[in-house]
């Protein structure tokens, strides 16, 4: 049920204060950056296209304007090959552009938000629920009606309450 006339990419240009993302999957390998993921798996250097991806400009433009972009990834160890790539290459690259990351490690505890879908939330008032297939291919975003926002704020707050900053988690668990 799409309730926004804006696309997901338009929301990144138009949000006012913050954009939050909850990631719940172990594999997004078919959703972009496939060339970089293949290079990672082959032990090759990061492709220039990965180092200068348009996403970095999106993040940098937002954070330079004083907006916050942050996410929590719910995961369990051992990390999948894709998560080693995403955290080791992607997150570390995006941090330099100003994006903040937190890890909710559910390896030795119950996931506090087991029913939460992947989503982006903009300014605590617009939620885009993300859909993926079983191979991690992005299928689209459904913008939800305003009555669902409170539920997604609760997902975000619970995830953040149980997460730790990426840099601290990575220092302990990077492989």
Give the tens place of pLDDT for each residue, 89-114.
999 999 999 999 999 999 999 999 99
Where do the domains of the chain lie? 8-173
pLDDT of amino acid 33: 85
- Residue 72 sits at the vertex; the CA angle it makes with 112 and 172, to the nearest 5 degrees, is 90
How much is the pLDDT for 4?
56
Query: Which residue, among 127, 114, 117, 115, has the nearest Cα to 153 in the 3D structure?
Result: 127
The pairing of strands 164-165 and 68-75 is unpaired
Share of the chain above pLDDT 90, in %: 89
Burial of 111 (0-12, 13-18, 19+ CB in 10 A): middle
pLDDT at position 5 is 64
What percent of the chain is predicted at pLDDT more than 70? 97
User: pTM value?
Assistant: 0.94
Edge-to-edge strand order for the sheet containing 68-75? 138-143, 126-132, 119-122, 18-23, 68-75, 100-105, 164-165
Quick one: pLDDT at residue 60?
A: 97
Given a contact cutoff of 8 angstroms between Cβ atoms, the answer to whether 141 and 131 are in contact is yes
86 closest CA partner among 159, 131, 23, 19: 23
* Cα gap 132→50, rounded to integer Å: 22
- In the prediction, which pLDDT does 135 show? 86
Q: How confident is the model at residue 6 (pLDDT cuts 50, 70, 90)?
A: confident
Asked if residue 60 lies in contact with residue 97, where contact means CB atoms within 8 angstroms, the answer is yes
Alpha carbon distance 86, 92 (integer Å): 9
pLDDT tens sequence across 7-51: 889 999 999 999 999 999 999 998 888 999 999 999 999 999 999
Of 46-50, 87-91, 128-132, 171-175, the range with the lowest mean pLDDT is 171-175
What is the DSSP-derived secondary structure letter of residue 109? S
More confident residue, 88 or 6: 88
Q: Which fold has domain 8-173?
A: Endonuclease; Chain A (3.30.870)
* Position 153 pLDDT exceeds 80: yes
**CA gap 148, 128 in Å, rounded:** 11
């Amino acid at each position: 049920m799409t309730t926004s006339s804006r696309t997901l990419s338009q929301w990144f240009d138009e949000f006012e204060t913050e954009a939050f993302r909850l990631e719940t999957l172990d594999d997004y390998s078919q959703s972009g950056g496939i060339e970089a993921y293949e290079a990672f798996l082959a032990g090759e250097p990061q492709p220039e296209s990965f180092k200068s991806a348009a996403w970095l400009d999106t993040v940098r433009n937002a954070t330079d304007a004083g907006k916050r972009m942050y996410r929590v990834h719910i995961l369990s160890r051992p990390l999948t090959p894709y998560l080693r790539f995403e955290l080791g290459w992607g997150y570390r690259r995006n941090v330099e552009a100003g994006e903040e990351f937190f890890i909710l490690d559910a390896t030795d505890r119950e996931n506090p938000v087991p029913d939460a879908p992947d989503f982006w939330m903009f300014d605590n008032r617009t939620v885009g629920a993300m859909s993926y297939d079983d191979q991690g291919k992005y299928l689209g975003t459904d913008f939800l009606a305003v009555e669902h926002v409170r539920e997604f704020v609760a997902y975000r707050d619970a995830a953040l309450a149980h997460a730790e900053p990426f840099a601290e988690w990575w220092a302990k668990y990077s492989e």
